[in-house]
Chains A and B, each alone.
Chain A
Amino acid sequence: DGGITQSPKYLFRKEGQNVTLSCEQNLNHDAMYWYRQDPGQGLRLIYYSQIVNDFQKGDIAEGYSVSREKKESFPLTVTSAQKNPTAFYLCASTDFGGSYNSPLHFGNGTRLTVT
Protein backbone atom coordinates (compact mmCIF):
# COMPACT_ATOMS: atom_id res chain seq x y z
CA ASP A 1 0.00 0.00 0.00
CA GLY A 2 1.20 3.50 -0.80
CA GLY A 3 1.81 5.90 2.02
CA ILE A 4 4.13 8.08 4.02
CA THR A 5 6.45 6.59 6.62
CA GLN A 6 7.91 8.69 9.39
CA SER A 7 10.51 7.32 11.73
CA PRO A 8 11.05 7.04 14.55
CA LYS A 9 7.68 7.47 16.22
CA TYR A 10 9.28 8.79 19.42
CA LEU A 11 12.64 10.53 19.68
CA PHE A 12 14.45 11.82 22.75
CA ARG A 13 17.45 14.11 22.61
CA LYS A 14 19.55 16.22 24.89
CA GLU A 15 19.56 19.95 24.42
CA GLY A 16 22.33 21.12 22.09
CA GLN A 17 22.23 18.05 19.85
CA ASN A 18 21.08 18.05 16.25
CA VAL A 19 18.53 15.39 15.35
CA THR A 20 17.20 14.18 11.99
CA LEU A 21 13.65 13.02 11.41
CA SER A 22 13.01 10.68 8.52
CA CYS A 23 10.15 10.92 6.00
CA GLU A 24 9.73 8.52 3.08
CA GLN A 25 6.83 8.30 0.63
CA ASN A 26 6.00 5.77 -2.07
CA LEU A 27 3.07 7.70 -3.52
CA ASN A 28 5.19 9.16 -6.33
CA HIS A 29 4.20 12.63 -5.12
CA ASP A 30 6.16 15.62 -6.29
CA ALA A 31 5.69 17.88 -3.28
CA MET A 32 6.59 17.17 0.34
CA TYR A 33 6.06 19.22 3.47
CA TRP A 34 7.10 19.38 7.11
CA TYR A 35 4.70 20.72 9.72
CA ARG A 36 5.05 21.24 13.42
CA GLN A 37 2.11 20.65 15.78
CA ASP A 38 1.92 22.07 19.29
CA PRO A 39 -0.98 21.52 21.72
CA GLY A 40 -3.87 23.89 21.11
CA GLN A 41 -2.37 25.24 17.90
CA GLY A 42 -2.88 24.55 14.26
CA LEU A 43 -0.18 23.00 12.12
CA ARG A 44 2.62 25.36 11.16
CA LEU A 45 4.68 24.90 8.01
CA ILE A 46 8.43 24.50 8.49
CA TYR A 47 9.70 23.68 4.98
CA TYR A 48 8.30 22.41 1.73
CA SER A 49 9.73 21.00 -1.47
CA GLN A 50 8.00 20.92 -4.82
CA ILE A 51 10.72 19.07 -6.71
CA VAL A 52 13.95 17.18 -6.12
CA ASN A 53 16.91 19.37 -5.14
CA ASP A 54 14.68 22.34 -4.39
CA PHE A 55 12.99 23.42 -1.17
CA GLN A 56 11.53 26.58 0.34
CA LYS A 57 11.18 27.95 3.84
CA GLY A 58 7.77 27.90 5.42
CA ASP A 59 6.49 30.08 8.22
CA ILE A 60 8.77 28.78 11.00
CA ALA A 61 11.98 27.59 9.29
CA GLU A 62 14.46 29.05 11.79
CA GLY A 63 16.47 26.32 13.53
CA TYR A 64 15.53 23.66 10.97
CA SER A 65 17.13 22.35 7.79
CA VAL A 66 16.02 19.93 5.07
CA SER A 67 17.29 18.18 1.97
CA ARG A 68 15.53 16.66 -1.04
CA GLU A 69 18.04 14.48 -2.85
CA LYS A 70 15.46 11.89 -3.85
CA LYS A 71 11.79 12.24 -4.76
CA GLU A 72 10.80 9.72 -2.09
CA SER A 73 12.69 11.26 0.82
CA PHE A 74 12.53 14.58 2.68
CA PRO A 75 14.45 14.42 5.98
CA LEU A 76 14.18 17.23 8.52
CA THR A 77 17.06 18.19 10.82
CA VAL A 78 16.22 19.97 14.04
CA THR A 79 19.32 21.90 14.94
CA SER A 80 20.53 23.17 18.30
CA ALA A 81 19.54 26.65 17.12
CA GLN A 82 15.83 25.76 17.42
CA LYS A 83 14.80 27.37 20.70
CA ASN A 84 11.82 25.18 21.51
CA PRO A 85 12.15 21.90 19.59
CA THR A 86 9.88 19.66 21.65
CA ALA A 87 6.81 19.07 19.47
CA PHE A 88 4.98 16.64 17.21
CA TYR A 89 6.35 16.74 13.67
CA LEU A 90 4.25 15.77 10.69
CA CYS A 91 5.42 15.08 7.17
CA ALA A 92 3.01 15.34 4.24
CA SER A 93 3.03 14.99 0.49
CA THR A 94 0.83 15.93 -2.42
CA ASP A 95 0.68 15.34 -6.11
CA PHE A 96 1.65 18.84 -7.09
CA GLY A 97 0.89 19.61 -10.69
CA GLY A 98 -0.51 23.08 -10.63
CA SER A 99 -3.76 21.69 -9.34
CA TYR A 100 -5.04 23.15 -6.12
CA ASN A 101 -7.42 20.37 -5.24
CA SER A 102 -4.73 17.84 -4.44
CA PRO A 103 -5.10 17.22 -0.74
CA LEU A 104 -2.21 16.57 1.60
CA HIS A 105 -1.45 13.02 2.67
CA PHE A 106 0.13 12.82 6.12
CA GLY A 107 2.48 10.43 7.85
CA ASN A 108 1.83 9.32 11.42
CA GLY A 109 4.24 11.81 12.91
CA THR A 110 7.34 11.83 15.10
CA ARG A 111 7.11 13.07 18.67
CA LEU A 112 10.40 14.77 19.58
CA THR A 113 11.26 15.48 23.20
CA VAL A 114 14.35 17.52 24.00
CA THR A 115 15.52 17.77 27.59
Chain B
Amino acid sequence: GEDVEQSLFLSVREGDSSVINCTYTDSSSTYLYWYKQEPGAGLQLLTYIFSNMDMKQDQRLTVLLNKKDKHLSLRIADTQTGDSAIYFCAESFPSGGYNKLIFGAGTRLAVHP
Protein backbone atom coordinates (compact mmCIF):
# COMPACT_ATOMS: atom_id res chain seq x y z
CA GLY B 1 0.00 0.00 0.00
CA GLU B 2 0.93 3.63 -0.05
CA ASP B 3 3.27 4.75 2.71
CA VAL B 4 5.57 7.66 3.46
CA GLU B 5 8.26 7.34 6.13
CA GLN B 6 10.22 10.07 7.89
CA SER B 7 12.41 10.17 10.94
CA LEU B 8 10.61 11.93 13.79
CA PHE B 9 13.29 14.28 15.14
CA LEU B 10 16.26 16.29 13.96
CA SER B 11 18.37 18.67 16.01
CA VAL B 12 20.84 21.10 14.39
CA ARG B 13 22.95 24.06 15.41
CA GLU B 14 22.00 27.49 14.12
CA GLY B 15 23.91 28.25 10.92
CA ASP B 16 24.44 24.60 9.99
CA SER B 17 22.60 22.81 7.20
CA SER B 18 19.62 20.58 7.98
CA VAL B 19 18.77 17.54 5.90
CA ILE B 20 15.36 15.94 6.35
CA ASN B 21 14.83 12.60 4.66
CA CYS B 22 11.74 10.82 3.42
CA THR B 23 11.03 7.53 1.70
CA TYR B 24 7.87 6.63 -0.14
CA THR B 25 6.48 3.47 -1.65
CA ASP B 26 4.18 4.40 -4.53
CA SER B 27 6.05 4.51 -7.82
CA SER B 28 3.15 6.25 -9.57
CA SER B 29 3.72 9.47 -7.61
CA THR B 30 3.41 12.57 -9.78
CA TYR B 31 4.54 15.24 -7.35
CA LEU B 32 6.30 15.21 -4.01
CA TYR B 33 5.83 18.03 -1.55
CA TRP B 34 7.43 19.49 1.53
CA TYR B 35 5.17 21.26 4.00
CA LYS B 36 6.11 23.15 7.17
CA GLN B 37 3.93 23.30 10.27
CA GLU B 38 4.56 25.77 13.07
CA PRO B 39 3.01 25.19 16.51
CA GLY B 40 -0.78 25.43 16.53
CA ALA B 41 -0.97 26.27 12.83
CA GLY B 42 -1.87 24.63 9.57
CA LEU B 43 0.57 23.35 7.00
CA GLN B 44 2.41 25.76 4.75
CA LEU B 45 3.69 24.59 1.38
CA LEU B 46 7.46 25.03 1.19
CA THR B 47 8.30 23.51 -2.14
CA TYR B 48 7.46 20.65 -4.44
CA ILE B 49 9.17 18.62 -7.13
CA PHE B 50 7.81 16.82 -10.14
CA SER B 51 8.60 13.13 -10.14
CA ASN B 52 10.73 13.27 -13.28
CA MET B 53 13.11 15.82 -11.77
CA ASP B 54 16.22 15.05 -9.72
CA MET B 55 16.72 18.34 -7.97
CA LYS B 56 15.05 21.64 -7.29
CA GLN B 57 16.58 24.64 -5.58
CA ASP B 58 14.67 27.54 -4.11
CA GLN B 59 16.77 30.02 -2.13
CA ARG B 60 17.90 28.17 1.05
CA LEU B 61 15.95 25.05 0.15
CA THR B 62 17.25 22.18 -1.98
CA VAL B 63 15.11 19.17 -2.78
CA LEU B 64 16.75 15.99 -4.03
CA LEU B 65 14.76 13.13 -5.48
CA ASN B 66 16.12 9.64 -6.07
CA LYS B 67 13.27 7.97 -7.90
CA LYS B 68 15.01 4.61 -8.13
CA ASP B 69 15.32 4.40 -4.34
CA LYS B 70 12.07 6.33 -3.74
CA HIS B 71 13.97 8.73 -1.52
CA LEU B 72 13.31 12.44 -1.11
CA SER B 73 15.31 14.91 0.92
CA LEU B 74 15.00 18.53 1.92
CA ARG B 75 18.14 20.47 2.68
CA ILE B 76 17.87 23.80 4.49
CA ALA B 77 21.04 25.85 4.24
CA ASP B 78 22.09 28.21 7.05
CA THR B 79 19.36 26.95 9.37
CA GLN B 80 17.81 29.63 11.59
CA THR B 81 15.77 29.42 14.78
CA GLY B 82 12.73 30.41 12.73
CA ASP B 83 13.11 27.16 10.84
CA SER B 84 12.15 25.20 13.96
CA ALA B 85 8.93 23.42 13.03
CA ILE B 86 7.54 20.09 11.87
CA TYR B 87 8.28 19.23 8.25
CA PHE B 88 5.98 16.92 6.34
CA CYS B 89 6.82 15.03 3.22
CA ALA B 90 3.88 14.09 0.98
CA GLU B 91 3.49 12.23 -2.26
CA SER B 92 0.63 12.77 -4.67
CA PHE B 93 -0.82 10.65 -7.41
CA PRO B 94 -4.06 10.49 -9.38
CA SER B 95 -6.73 8.46 -7.64
CA GLY B 96 -10.37 8.36 -8.66
CA GLY B 97 -10.13 11.67 -10.46
CA TYR B 98 -8.55 13.69 -7.68
CA ASN B 99 -5.09 14.46 -6.43
CA LYS B 100 -4.56 12.06 -3.53
CA LEU B 101 -1.88 13.02 -1.03
CA ILE B 102 -0.20 10.65 1.40
CA PHE B 103 1.64 12.38 4.23
CA GLY B 104 4.51 11.20 6.35
CA ALA B 105 4.32 11.53 10.14
CA GLY B 106 6.46 14.66 10.09
CA THR B 107 10.01 15.45 11.23
CA ARG B 108 10.35 17.85 14.14
CA LEU B 109 13.32 20.12 13.51
CA ALA B 110 14.86 21.78 16.55
CA VAL B 111 17.42 24.54 15.95
CA HIS B 112 19.66 25.43 18.88
CA PRO B 113 22.23 28.21 19.30
Q: Decide whether A and B assemble into one complex.
A: yes
Q: A residues engaging B (CB < 8 A)?
A: 4, 6, 9, 31, 40-43, 45, 48, 50, 56, 90, 92, 94, 96, 100-109, 111
Provided the pairs A40-B8, A109-B40, A109-B42 are in contact, do residues A102 and B105 lie with their beta carbons within 8 angstroms? no
| Cα(A100)–Cα(B105), bound, Å | 22
Please give the distance in Å from A100's CB to the nearest CB on chain B: 5
Q: How many residue pairs between the two chains, A and B, have CB atoms under 8 Å in the bound complex?
A: 63
B97 at the interface (CB under 8 A from A): yes
What count of chain B residues pass the 8 Å CB interface test?
Answer: 30
Out of A9, A48, A56, A101, which one reaches B48, CB within 8 Å?
A101
Q: Looking at the assembled complex, report how far the CB atom of A97 sits from the nearest CB atom of chain B, in whole angstroms.
A: 10
Among B56-64, B75-83, B88-96, the one that faces the other chain is: B88-96
Among B40, B42, B94, B100, the residue within 8 A (CB) of A106 is: B42
Distance in angstroms between the alpha carbons of A90 and B4 in the assembled complex: 19
**Cβ proximity bits B1-13 to A, threshold 8 Å, 1 near / 0 not:** 0001000100000
Enumerate B27-71 residues with CB–CB distance to A below 8 Å. 30-31, 33, 35, 40-45, 48, 50
Q: Which residues of A contact B30 (CB under 8 A)?
A: 100-101
- Whether A106 contacts B43 in the complex (CB less than 8 A), given A96-B98, A100-B94, comes out as yes
Give complex CA distance A9, B4 in Å: 28
